[in-house]
Structure 1
Amino acid sequence: MEYIEEGSLMVFNEHSKLLGKGFALSHPPSIMQALEGNLPFCWQSNERSFLKDFIACNPGTSGGRIARWLQPDSYLDPSQCELVYNKEDLRCSWPALLTVNTKDQYGNLVQVSNLKVEVKAIPVDQGIMGDDSKKMRRLSRPDNSNMTFGGHPPPCLDVPYEPTIKDKKDIFHAICMMKPYENYSFEELRVAAPAVPRPSENMLVRSNNDGTYLVNWTPGSVGLYSIHVTIDGFDTGEVYKVDVKDPPQGITPPSQTEKKPHHTNKLRKFVQKYSSGLRARTNPSLQSEQIGVIPPEGIIAFVDEIHNDDGVWLRLSQESIREHCTNGHIEGWVLQYNQHLGKTLLVPVEEPKSIAKEIIKETIRRNLKAEATKHRRGPGVYQVIKCGSFGHNIRCGAGLKSTPVGMFTLEDKVLAIADVSSKQKLLFYREIFVMEN
């Protein structure tokens, strides 16, 4: 007993501030409870609830608020994370890009290494379809008053399909011609067969190493989905409801990795002067990883162009990737027009003229000049070899609208002392004399 008293005194001396108010008891203990050490602690007190909320950092409680105030450092908060997507891009059998933004308790992007992000699309009508199938089975129970199938028992759906041969010559491929189903119509068999539930779809998630994660999803069916995002096993709290629609007819699915044949390099220049550079990224998305920088007045060559919500993206050529990007990347994209800012970042650059093109143009120019010189003979004697029935007009000026002052007849000889070329590409004579035959 002395040792117990000494130990109690030591504990009380060290923790007198905590034990000064006594224990939180629901009622005074009895003698037997005090001797056995079974104290009636009050488990439902406000102080105990506060401690639980403080330790668990529960949001919306006084304990959780003071715990967050005592811990101001940034940490990943799953409830603040969000999923960004475009509803118009969600089409059946069309690849779509979604983005998961991981944020801290203040709503800022935060990068955490070795983070496990999972995104799953669950069809909304799975539970409804399951209830319908149960109701179907209840309605399909054999009953004398059941007229669901015309008084016949529900069809057995385990019979394997096989063509039906009649009179050893006619082959029927219809399922209602089979012997087990000859008393049922197509519609009755369709009602009896439970609808196949749509499976859940797991998405491919890739980290951009900047607090964002790129999610690839190709919806397998049309209808409503609920998208669940888990981060290290914790739900983000918000379930996203999306509606996947049929793709428009006559339009091929968008493919951002499609390679066009016979690419031709084109040049663009980064014209923003007061800038640290234009970022080159792995994919045509502002959330993708940065792999390089195009300096101001820098020139790049591109081989492909696509349009999305961010603006106009250009795919860099291999030479530009080697010049402006880090090693090890085989694909790079830059933003030519920023849709969010309404700015054009890259402008066309005139390609230098090649020597071969200059030689060809000079040759054509010389040939045209020689051809024009050949037809322009200058002053001399000419003879009329072709004219109309009334002759050939002599006009007062070098133009078809000038007033006629005379006329030539066939085989007349003319002495010309000068020639003038007009817009009509015709040859006229300033002073003309008609000679006798």
Structure 2
Amino acid sequence: MTQTTPITPPSSGLYRAVWRWHFYAGLIVLPFIILLAVTGGIYLFKDEINTKAYASLRVVEPLQTGFAAPSHITANALDYHNGTLKAYMPAAAPDRAAEVKILGEDGLKDTIFVNPYTAEVLGSQWDSGPSGSPVMWLVRKLHSLEYIGWIGNRIIEAVAGWMVLLVATGVYLWWPRGKKLGVMKVKASKGRPWWRDVHAVTGIYTAGFIVFLAMTGLPWSGVWGKQFYDLSYKTGLGMPDGYWSSYPVSTVPTGEVLDRTPWILEHQPMPQSGAASGIPAGLDQVVQTVENLGVAAGYALNMPSGPTGVFTASVYPDDISQERVVHLDQYTGEVLFDMGLSDLGTLGWMAEWGVSIHMGQAFGLVNQIVLLLACAAMVLMAVSAAVMWWKRRPSGRIGAPEYPQHLRIPRTVFAMAIVAGILFPLVGLSMLVFAVIELGLYLMARPKHA
């Protein structure tokens, strides 16, 4: 009599298929998740770290005399460091230094810190843009993998998409189904079951935060972010209506000129001044105009670039509702464009709020602590997953969940793969690679009949 192999119930086949995808995805993106969580957790406290580490440059004793004129502050900075004035940042608070960005003759840009009351130069630092310091610049570069160019951006995008899929498959695997496992609290006391409970329980409490962090980090990505950016414009839900309809524009993207600009504005062209020659407006006059407009403290005033350039005041404060970009004609000081958060379309508005919360700015210390805990939970889940794998891994084998008895993809998994591929193109591409590998492994592992 020929012995027949028991048929695996559909539910078991689906569970095993989902488990395999969760296993492989987690194993591959695990080191990247740890990198994102650690660097992201540090960057949440960027301002606090910069202020503490560079207090001698950033913190001043408030005086009753009032601030010195911007022209006086920038003149002293230029005397200290020869070059071209690129931007002026008035003191963001009574106990903060003013900052002057100067492009030196060596082609490098430095930030000169100046006491806003006495106009005394406190020192200088290599300009690190929105990161605020060389240390935070390093953290930011590691977080985005910009060190390895465009491929780093694609890797982070794929990892973000897989994080969403890991959460979805993880919730499915977490569902108790009558098993005596940790659901809302850790039940096991030791060994691999304890690590499993820690992984599952931590995941279910932080699933929403992980998805939020992944999705709000995607606008900067090269594939998903570009599609979302284009969609926001095609649907009229990005920039306000009539953007630049009345003024000539350059070919220079705003994101290349400003250290920090609203995400929805980064690829839009800078405007041009009405005349190509004349006497530029005085810095003190322009600063006064910006102050009269009520632009929030902490803004940066970028100098015109070339004879047709404009003055641009931009601010990205902790209170995202005060985000603002103002362009002024460099000769007349006339306001050419004044855009705040409320002027954006729905998708632009949502993206700005999402990015602000992602960076721990929107709700102060509470925002920072909640996301720091989420980052810590991601590290714990990654470590517990690695320990579980190591404990169950047979010697000399990878220890993946068993193959199904028959080469059949459950319809639910197939539908999930299609949806994931549409929503996250790079995830779909990597799924195809996994599928080819899976097919090859199945064909090698299946029994051979004489």
The structure whose RCO (Cα within 8 Å, separation 6+) is larger is 2
Question: Which TM-score tier does this pair reach, normalised by the shorter chain?
Answer: under 0.3
Q: Please, what TM-score do these two structures have when normalized by structure 1?
A: 0.18
Q: Which has the larger radius of gyration?
A: 1
Q: Please, what TM-score do these two structures have when normalized by structure 2?
A: 0.17
**Larger strand proportion of the pair:** 1
